[in-house]
Structure 1
Amino acid sequence: MRLLPWSVAVLVTATLVTVPAGPAAAALTRDPVTVVYTRDHALHVLNGGATDDDLAARTAKLASSAWAFFRGTSPLYYRDLGELAPSAYATGGSDVWITGDAHLENTGADRGADNVEQYQVTDTDDAWRGSWTWELRREAVAIVLAGRANGRSATAIAGDVDTLVAEYAQWIDKFHGTGDELTWRLTATNTSDLSAALIADSAGDHRSDLLARWTTVSGGTRTFASDPELQTVPAATRTSLINAVASYRTTAGEPLSAGEAVVKDVRRRLGAGTGSLGRFRWYVLIEGDTTSTSDDRILELKQQVDPAPKQLAPTATTLTGGQRPALALRWLANQSDPLAGWASVGTVPVLVKEKSPFAEDLAIADLTSSAKWDDTVRDIGRLLAAAHSRADQDLTGTGLSYSADAAIDNAITSVSGLQAETRAFATGYADQVTLDWQSYVAARNSGRPLY
């Protein structure tokens, strides 16, 4: 495929879409549609076509906007990083644990393990060991694309990227040599604007509301409700899910007793996520703390595949399956879901988490003012700094024998230089994402197979 120049106008589904001019980058020797197809087709084959309904839904979601396309194609981003010039600030040999899929909507409020509401990173499906610059750059690209989607000016977006980098560098420096990252987190006492509003919403949530959304009680027994997003499963799958929960319960950060993990009902969840659409995702209703129906819990079991950054560092860690994202969540987020663990449903490796009644995810549509943008970007910079600083020699099992915050702090020899480099990369790559999205839309409209 001939790559288009950075500034181009393309007719997409009868709408003229103009890509803003940005800094030129090295030509990428790939067809983005083929890269995405290859990954999705592999999932189609792996699951024997059983998740094709979600793969079809995924094509529609990826085609809906450049922002959604970026959210759902992290493997393409990491493939491209392998061809583009690395950051001048990349640490030489000192890799760290990264979330792997940093973007604005992979953060949100939830109730911590100690019952205190907090703002945190929420997705570790792509967690892996690699350069912190991969993550910082991905978050910066997300800020550019989300800013454009919200109609922010190029000047404002550039300022947002600079704020992200400055805040990240400042908090890496604060954590360097102190160990404060092990206990630091964002709560109602140190946030404002949208982050604080999400925390307040989380504090006002109740388990009964989540149970009312997905379940019903009849004859004193709670089961899943009839819902187009919940699909009944064959008897063999039900048995496999019951067995998976039995093996999972001792892997949780706070292990469940056999009585707490009694399975009451199971369903396959349809239509959830963007990057994970096309993977098996099951909901399992379990007993909870008591035999009362009021404290039943919903577990989410999500199929795991190789994380996107692995293609750049295939031997960085030997952790696999659901164990990798479950442990990464504990390392990267303070007071994270105590029920996170892992299992296999038959031969399908899964990450197990509670479907939290208190989760309030960030949505870019809620960033309606410059103040909200500024405060949210600052909070995300702090979250990434804390995450990268936590998962090192200070925590058992990470495989890192050194201080990640020290390595990163020593690598950032110039904050202004890192800002300029990140700003240029993010602007140029956001232009490329928009072109790639347009190619994907054209391929979908022409009937080209996408999975």
Structure 2
Amino acid sequence: MRRVVATAVVTTVVTSLLLPSPAVAAPALTRDPVDVIYARDHALHVLNNGATDDELTLRTEKLAGDAWSFFRGTSPLYYRDLGELPASAYASGTAWLTGDAHLENTGADRGSDGTEQYQLTDTDDAWPGSWTWELRREAVSIVLAGRANGRTPSQIATDVDTFVAEYAQWIDKFHGTNDEATYRLTKSNTSNLSEDLIDKSDDDTRADLLAKWTSGGQFKSHPELLPVTASTRASVVSAVAAYRTTATTPLSASRATVKDVRRRIGAGTGSLGRSRWYVLVEGDTTSASDDRILELKQTVDPAPKPLAPGASTLTGGERPAKALRWLVNRSDPLAGWASVGSVPVLVKEKSPYAEDLEIGDLDSSTVWDDTVRDVARLLAAAHSRADQDIAGTGLTYSVDAAIDAAITSVSGLQSETRTFAFSYADQVTTDWQAYVVAKNSGRPLF
């Protein structure tokens, strides 16, 4: 049974910690989506002195591909629009957000204890903000993915309602307990698709990953791996030396010995245009069979930050690395941060066991129902975890209690979220079409 009214203390805390709500404006959004995307991408072009223009060019191709890819790659546009659209009636309190919630930012991986799990996979845009921002973004992704898969409006509406109800239910379960601290989805408590991804993760091996990218203790020649200059290599080596003690499980100096460095291209959608390096480091022994691949990815200001600019003082790679620890139970123990020269980077292991969800895997109503429930549970647990119970989050109250108090009507939240998700999905499609026209006309896009 839902808790409708919280204690006076929680109510006071929630009221005192409200974020400024995005202002209600005229129904039509007052922006050109191509201009908004151009400004962000051009800033990256300038910041990197054109060094990642090949990636920015590839990014334009991906964004023009379809409405789903466009949404995946334009989270700053979404958060910019939230500042102009009416705020949720339930937008109370602040939670740590992943910042770029969508279905394909989930998948299976091996937890730090060696157990395969289904989890959130991307905290590049992590930032404190209203939990409704994230709930709405995930709901929009459900609508767009459902349309891409040929689901009917009625089926999609059911998927969104199921997602919202499941989120509210698990927020209520976490309220008053500390269960969110240890909650995770493993093979024993998840659905068929998530279980299939976990099984694939369990079958993966480090040898397979190393065979794909390396040979004899160095990277192979590969179209997605480019050589780096001697000066860049030296900067990366220095970055790894500085990074190793920032990891949750610090690397010893010997295990952080750099064997080879390459620039990685072609990965992701939203992060295309950022500098990214693969670094082969020594494993537990001098044998090449247990080497590790570290991924160093350039960080920029997170997409939600303009809506809550003073919500955190964390910067650079430290922000997404710490958010990963807070939001994902048993997350990558090698996640940390550094700078390659003047470029701040998030450092993670290129996991041998990662298996990402793809929307093409959602091939029946049963799978859709199970998957949106699993994603809702992941978000509810993540939002509930990163609060007063973890040092450093900057949140001094129970987030699950605050959200639970804010959800005064599950059916009302469902209706509001469903209406927003369908309307904004229509906007995304219109914006994507405008981007395609701009690209085809030769308009500069970065």
Fold shared, TM-score > 0.5 on shorter chain: yes
Matched, 1:132 2:127: no
Point out where structure 2 has 5 or more consecutive residues left out of the alignment.
1-25
Matched, 1:212 2:211: yes
Taking the aligned partners of 1:66 and 1:79, their CA distance within structure 2 comes to: 18
- State the shift of 1:296 in Å: 0.1
- State the shift of 1:399 in Å: 0.5
* Secondary structure in structure 2 of the residue aligned to 1:243: helix
Matched, 1:36 2:37: yes
* Secondary structure in structure 1 of the residue aligned to 2:345: strand
Deviations 1:186-215 (A, max 9, x none): 000001211000001000100000001101
Query: Equivalences for 1:372-451 in 2 at 5 Å?
Result: 372-451=367-446
Matched, 1:63 2:64: yes
Who is 2:22 aligned against? none
Deviations 1:239-279 (A, max 9, x none): 00000000000000000000000000000000000000000
- State the shift of 1:130 in Å: 0.2
Who is 1:51 aligned against? 52
Contact 2:175 2:404 in 1 (8 A): yes
* Secondary structure in structure 2 of the residue aligned to 1:425: helix
Query: Equivalences for 1:32-431 in 2 at 5 Å?
Result: 32-91=33-92, 94-217=93-216, 222-431=217-426
Taking the aligned partners of 2:185 and 2:219, their CA distance within structure 1 comes to: 34
TM-score by length of 2: 0.94
Contact 1:63 1:441 in 2 (8 A): yes
TM-score by length of 1: 0.93
- State the shift of 1:289 in Å: 1.1
Taking the aligned partners of 1:248 and 1:162, their CA distance within structure 2 comes to: 43
Taking the aligned partners of 1:158 and 1:213, their CA distance within structure 2 comes to: 41
Taking the aligned partners of 1:125 and 1:186, their CA distance within structure 2 comes to: 22
Taking the aligned partners of 1:288 and 1:404, their CA distance within structure 2 comes to: 39
Taking the aligned partners of 2:250 and 2:370, their CA distance within structure 1 comes to: 36
- State the shift of 1:410 in Å: 0.2
Taking the aligned partners of 1:105 and 1:289, their CA distance within structure 2 comes to: 32
Contact 2:280 2:293 in 1 (8 A): yes
- State the shift of 1:372 in Å: 0.8
Taking the aligned partners of 2:27 and 2:418, their CA distance within structure 1 comes to: 16
Who is 2:23 aligned against? none
**Amino acid corresponding to residue 64 of structure 1 in structure 2:** G
Taking the aligned partners of 2:396 and 2:103, their CA distance within structure 1 comes to: 30
Taking the aligned partners of 1:314 and 1:30, their CA distance within structure 2 comes to: 21
* Secondary structure in structure 2 of the residue aligned to 1:276: coil
**Amino acid corresponding to residue 341 of structure 1 in structure 2:** G
**Amino acid corresponding to residue 354 of structure 2 in structure 1:** A
**Amino acid corresponding to residue 133 of structure 2 in structure 1:** W
Contact 1:66 1:434 in 2 (8 A): yes
Contact 1:193 1:371 in 2 (8 A): no
Taking the aligned partners of 1:150 and 1:193, their CA distance within structure 2 comes to: 19
Contact 2:100 2:126 in 1 (8 A): yes
- State the shift of 1:152 in Å: 0.4
Taking the aligned partners of 1:347 and 1:379, their CA distance within structure 2 comes to: 39
- State the shift of 1:292 in Å: 1.1
* Secondary structure in structure 1 of the residue aligned to 2:60: helix
Contact 1:40 1:450 in 2 (8 A): yes
Taking the aligned partners of 1:310 and 1:288, their CA distance within structure 2 comes to: 37
Taking the aligned partners of 2:192 and 2:154, their CA distance within structure 1 comes to: 22
Who is 1:6 aligned against? none
Please identify runs of 4+ aligned residues in structure 1 that moved more than 3 A.
none
Taking the aligned partners of 1:192 and 1:422, their CA distance within structure 2 comes to: 24
* Secondary structure in structure 1 of the residue aligned to 2:304: helix
Contact 2:191 2:374 in 1 (8 A): no
Taking the aligned partners of 2:366 and 2:211, their CA distance within structure 1 comes to: 35
**Amino acid corresponding to residue 180 of structure 1 in structure 2:** D
Q: Aligned residues: percent identity?
A: 76
* Secondary structure in structure 2 of the residue aligned to 1:308: coil
**Amino acid corresponding to residue 425 of structure 2 in structure 1:** A
- State the shift of 1:290 in Å: 1.1
Taking the aligned partners of 1:77 and 1:389, their CA distance within structure 2 comes to: 24
**Amino acid corresponding to residue 118 of structure 2 in structure 1:** Y
Taking the aligned partners of 2:45 and 2:39, their CA distance within structure 1 comes to: 10
* Larger displacement relative to structure 2 (369-378 or 323-332): 369-378
Point out where structure 1 has 5 or more consecutive residues left out of the alignment.
1-24
Taking the aligned partners of 1:230 and 1:450, their CA distance within structure 2 comes to: 25
- State the shift of 1:288 in Å: 1.2
